[in-house]
Structure 1
């Protein structure tokens, strides 16, 4: 039974990672290309909530399936007892980035949810855009360490 769950966990993890990273790239391109304030006010209130809730589901799926995969491949002892090996280093880097990414996502989601269709304060604008850019960059680094781990395993 556990083997079936872990096989599905790998597929779910992969599909959610593709969706998560692809979605953040799309939203970045959308944000850069929509320079007109009026266009932004027409698009974001409709696209933002749909994307935001999907991203919450994707993040929960990624964290859950990642935990299952960590158990399957006995990665937790390597994660919590750094022995200087490439796999231990990659696990620690990926976990650190995922923690920061999760925090940035929560900050961004809360601001976006609270201010959807409303005027943001300067602080909210900076935190929202900064967390959005951070999410995009962290996604690329998390993907790098995922590839490193997959190559090692």
Structure 2
């Protein structure tokens, strides 16, 4: 695994840390005028930063799964604690990627533009979903690392 676990961890810290930061910012910044001043500036920078982080996570994760000989086992009916946990983690990652794409489409489409109520609900809902699912991915990553040593 070597360097890939370290790159993966740094990208995970950036991804999850950014998610926590934006969650705290969203909860603490209640004034609509201040939101209109802050989000158009922070949003795009954060978005590009997060895209880079998630791409790095997907690439390094795939490399580690392949190098550990787990890729072929994922597509069989084999069951082990590592494979079952990895499958759960990867399903959650898939949902996170889909929610991220949806969120980014709305965010970039509506940057400096008033969102509709539906866009606002979907955008905030996807952010909240991503935030909480990140915690589950982190949990499963810890379980997998503890099993594999």
TM-score (normalizing by structure 1)? 0.94
Cα shift readout 1:19-62 (whole Å, capped 9, x = no counterpart) = 10011011000000000001101110011000000100111100
> Corresponding residue for 2:95?
100
Which residue of structure 2 aligns with residue 3 of structure 1? none
Which residue does 1:113 correspond to in 2? 108
Contact 1:21 1:139 in 2 (8 A): yes
Pairing 1:34–2:29 present: yes
Contact 1:94-1:146 at 8 Å conserved across structures: yes
SS in structure 2 at match of 1:14:
helix
The TM-score, its normalising length taken from structure 2, stands at: 0.96
- Give 1:141's aligned residue: 136
The Cα of 1:114 is off from its aligned counterpart by 0.6
Structure 1 ranges of 4+ moved more than 4 A: none
Give structure 2 stretches of 5+ with no counterpart. Answer: none
Give the length in aligned residue pairs: 148
Unaligned runs of 5+ in 1: 1-5
Task: Specify the alignment match of 1:87 in structure 2.
Answer: 82
**1:69 has 2:64 as partner:** yes
CA contact (8 A) 1:82 1:89 kept: no
After superposition, the CA RMSD in angstroms is: 0.9
**What is the CA–CA distance in structure 2 between the aligned matches of 1:8 and 1:46, rounded to whole Å?**
34
CA deviation after TM superposition for structure 1 residue 79, in Å: 1.5
Aligned to 2:119: 124
